[in-house]
Every structure is written in structure tokens, then in C-alpha cells.
Structure 1
Amino acid sequence: MPFLLRVELPDVPGSLGRVASAIGAGGGDIEAIEIVEHRPDGTAVDDVMLELAAGVMPDSVVSACNAVEGVRVVWISRYAAGGNLLLDLEVVEELTVHREQALDRLAGMLPVAFRVDWAARVRHTADGAVAVSATEAAPTELPWADLKQAERLPPVDDVTLLCGAPLLDDEIVVLGRSGGPEFLDSELARLGHLAGLAVSIAGR
């Protein structure tokens, strides 16, 4: 089964190669790599999609990576969505093809694009927050916040991290990620950008 590894490493030539070698030594086979964030402090955050050899535990890969100087594994987890990292451009292309359903399709595509457990388009009504559309794993009780930009939201339980972005005056899109990692500033910027594009594409 695929695993998703988020790793922090020095943003210098050769660092990613050393991490790749460590993953191989730990019994992992890299399927895809995505640069998530370049930080001002000279570090980078990458997401690595990998498969583990039979009998290999994820701890072996974590230990091998953490043994590389300057490298820190932020998070590793099974990735049930499979081995495809959905690029933001693919999301925009799909929304453009289906303009009239762009806002609903956005919620459906975000879990793969952001490696989260669920997403929901949430509307504020007199009776509280209701889901206009949501992926299967979304909870029945959804949060609401009057957002002006993409932000982290207060968690609704001890394990699920949340963030959201404005869509329409009375609607936001919310993402839920169970167990981590925390939403990075770069992810918030991407979410805000995609939400704005979805609204423009839908002509709203």
C-alpha cells in the first residue's frame, strides 16, 4: 500500500538525493515527489509518495531519513488515495471543463490535491452550517467561520486539523486532515488561490 511521507530538509543541492537514498536503504520505493514549501530559513518541505517492500515497516524509512544530517520526518501515513499526486493545474482544468459545477467539483478534488481526509463546501444559514457538497468522509457537523482569506480553523476534535477558504458571501470550503501534518502557509495560499479560481470559473 502507498505511504505519504512529509519530510523537512536543507534547501541545498544534493539534499533530496540523500533523502532518496535513505528511503531506498530503509526499504521504500519512491513513486513521486512534490515540493510543498521553500522556507526563508533555508529549509524545504517535500511530500514523497512511496511503496514499502513486503515486510518493511514505515519506522524503518523514518529512521533512515532522520539519520541524514539536517533531515526531519514530519509525518508518515498510509495514503489510500493511491499513487497519483494531483497537481493544482489538473484541478483547474477539471473545473474549467465543468464550469457550472465548479464549486461542487472543487470540494470533491481537494482531498487528493491536498492529501486530506475530506473536504466540504459549507453554507451559513439561519439554522447553522450545512454542507452544500462534501466528500464521503466529511463529518455531519461542519464548522463555520466568516473567512476573508484561507486560514487554519480551530479543531473540532483531538485529531482532526482544519483549514478553510472563502467561496461566496455565505459559503466557505473546509478541509479536514486527521492526525497531521499541520497545514503549512504554502498550503493555505494554494487553497485560497484555487477557491478564488473556482468562483471565477463558475461565474459567481
Structure 2
Amino acid sequence: MSYLLRVYLQDRPGSLGLLAVSLGSVGADILSLDVVERGEGYAVDDIVVEVARGSLPDTLITAAENIDGVRVDSIRPYTGVLETHRELELVDEIARATGAARMQVLVDLAPRVLRVSWAMVVGPGAGGVVQLFGSSSAPETPLGDVDWLPVTEPVQLDPDAPWVPEPWRDIDTRMAAAPIGAASKALLLGRSGGPDFRPSELARVGYLTRIVTTVLATS
């Protein structure tokens, strides 16, 4: 079974090696590591580890936080496919598709590319904002009126805002949105249980949606 850990650690020589050794001591095999963000004296990393079925996530948290300067921000099961050029492959798949299928390809592949729980494209419709395209895991709860459309740049959305459906709040869904295609449409991303979207992740979403918008415009 695989888990995705988001960890904060002091950005100093050897800290990542110590973390790897500590995780290995509880039977965790590191499959991939992505640097999400690097700041003054710290780094935020996403680490995918594989453990024996039945192993408890708490064991991974304890092993990681036994290292001085390491804090686990979140841990969740991971079922994505590990790829080194995820964004490029997504854009290529969209370019190969035609018509409305391009938006469906975007929401189908965005969860594993951006490491979120679900993705949907939303836009104005009868009675408020409606889901135009959604990934297989996207919630079907009607949105109604929202206070953030249209968006002009990637933003993290308030998980406790009045427009957020109650089932989404119940599972602490963290969300981000970015303009896609027409100005009235947006790519809405959700993470059930978090973590929050880091500024570097929002920038990454923005780069991707701008490229996809260009592809859609040239179709």
C-alpha cells in the first residue's frame, strides 16, 4: 500500500537522508519525492512511500517526526501512477483529443498530475454555477451561487465559505480554482482532508491552465 506524505523539514545537508533512514526503519520504501516549495531554511516535500498492507499510517508519522526539524503536514493513501513528466503528458493527451473531450481529459488526468482528490470544470448555468466536466471522483453536489467566479488567477478558496456544500465541509475539503478557457469558466480542484495548496502549487496550476487554455484556443 502506498501513502503520500507532505513533510516540512529544515533545509540543511543530511536532513533528507536521515528522514529516508527513519522511514526505512519502519519498513517504508520511498518511491518518489517532489520538492513542493523551498523557503528560507526550510523545504516542503511530497514523499510517496510503499509499506506492507496493514501497516498503520501513524507509524510513518512517528518515524518521520523522530527526526529533528521534521513535521508531517498530511498523510493520505496514494493510488496515482508515478511519472516524471506528468504535466507534459497531460497537455499531450489534451492536444490529441478533440472538441469537448479535451476538457474531460483535463479533469480525468488532473487529480494524479496535481495530486488532488478530484477535479471539475465549472461555469455559469441555470440556478448558479454548475459542473460542466468532472473526474470520476468529483462530488455531484450542486454548487448554486459562488462568490469567486470569475477568477483571473489561481486562488485557494475558503473551505468554510457559505457557498461550500456541507458534505465538502464535513470532510475538510481544501480547494483551489484557476481560470480555464473562457473567462467565466474555472478548473476547480479539491483535496479531501487537505492539505492546503501551497503558493508554489497554485503557480503550477496556473502554468498548466494557461498552457491548456492556449491549446483549446488553437483547436
- TM-score when scaled to structure 1? 0.90
Matches within 5 A, 1:91-106: 91-98=90-97, 100=99, 101-106=101-106
Quote the offset at 1:188 in angstroms.
0.7
Closer/same/farther in 2, CA of residues 84 and 49 from structure 1, 3 Å limit: farther
Distance 1:54 1:174 in 2: 33
User: What per-residue deviation string (whole Å, max 9, x for no partner) do you get for residues 121-177 of structure 1?
Assistant: 001134211111101221222374221110011222141111100112210010010
Deviation above 4 Å: which 4+ runs of structure 1?
Answer: 82-86
Match of 1:4 in 2: 4
Per the TM alignment, residue 86 of structure 1 is displaced from its structure 2 partner at its CA by: 6.3
Identify the residue that residue 135 of structure 1 maps to in structure 2. 135
Q: CA deviation digits over 1:62-98, x for unaligned, max 9?
A: 1111011111111111113355576222222322333
Identity %: 37
Which residue of the partner structure matches residue 75 of structure 1?
74
Residues 93 and 120 (structure 1 numbering): CA distance in 2 closer, same or farther, change over 3 Å?
Answer: same
The question of whether the paired residues in 1 share the 8 Å contact of 2:176 and 2:190 is answered with yes
Change (3 A) 1:46 1:99: farther
Q: CA deviation at 1:11?
A: 2.0
2:15 maps to 1:15: yes
Q: How far apart are residue 195 of structure 1 and its match? A: 0.8
Segments of structure 2 that go 5 or more residues without pairing to the other structure are: none
Count of paired positions: 203
Q: Distance in 1 between matches of 2:69 and 2:111?
A: 30
The alpha carbon displacement at 1:99 in A equals: 5.9
Q: Does residue 1:194 correspond to 2:193, yes or no?
A: no
